[in-house]
Amino acid sequence: MNRSSNQEDYLKAIFEAGGDEGPVSNKEIARRLSVSPPSVTEMLTKLKTDGLIDSAPYKGSMLTERGLAVCSQVLSSHKMWEVFLRRHLGYSWQESHADAHLLEHIAPSRMVERLASYLNFPSECLDHELKEMGACPIPLSAAAPGATVNILWTKEDENLLAALDELGLPANVPLKVLAASPSEEGVKVQANTQTFTLSKTMAAEIYVANADRGGEE
């Protein structure tokens, strides 16, 4: 079954709002996608017909097992393209997010799998059970001082991406986690010869793996 990019965006929005665990209201979906309530109603009807969501009047919509699998594939593709664009084409944080959003909808699974192999991306991070994806990366805020890590992905938040671009944190080089003094707030990292300090909130939304697992070519 062919799906439109619009349908896949709806599935992502439902998942990101917690629709893998409980119902998400039409109002919340409309807010996340900046669309009208009638548009949401129309799309949810299609998704339910295709077996991708379950919904009930006045209760909201949840992803079915099938819908969750589709969402997982789309999110995996997005992550792959973000890593590739930043690491090999010099994209900024915001640029990679924007163009990965386009590519995630058109790249076949075969291409994404080969891209993952090319990037030496940890295979367990592509698990179609989204809840297990957290077993591979860890938040930068949880990385031990002295560790060298590669950034795999970030929370999809425009404010976070803009802040990373403003900070000038490189997206395509390993980071060394530095020990912070007791009086310091946040997480200190070194990229090349530069030192950067990220707030704890920011560091908690950046997911990393040890450099020898999700490393450079």
Tens place of pLDDT for every residue, the chain, 217 residues? Answer: 567 888 999 999 998 888 888 999 999 999 999 999 999 999 999 999 999 999 888 889 999 999 998 888 888 888 888 888 988 898 999 999 899 999 998 888 888 889 888 887 655 455 444 344 444 578 898 888 999 988 877 877 888 989 999 999 987 788 999 977 665 678 999 998 899 999 888 998 888 877 654 444 3
Angle at 173 between CA 170 and CA 179, to 5 degrees: 85
Query: So what's the architecture of 71-210 in CATH?
Result: Roll (2.30)
List every span in the chain annotated with CATH 1.10.10.10. Answer: 5-63
List every span in the chain annotated with CATH 2.30.30.90. Answer: 71-210
Q: Which CATH code for domain 5-63?
A: 1.10.10.10
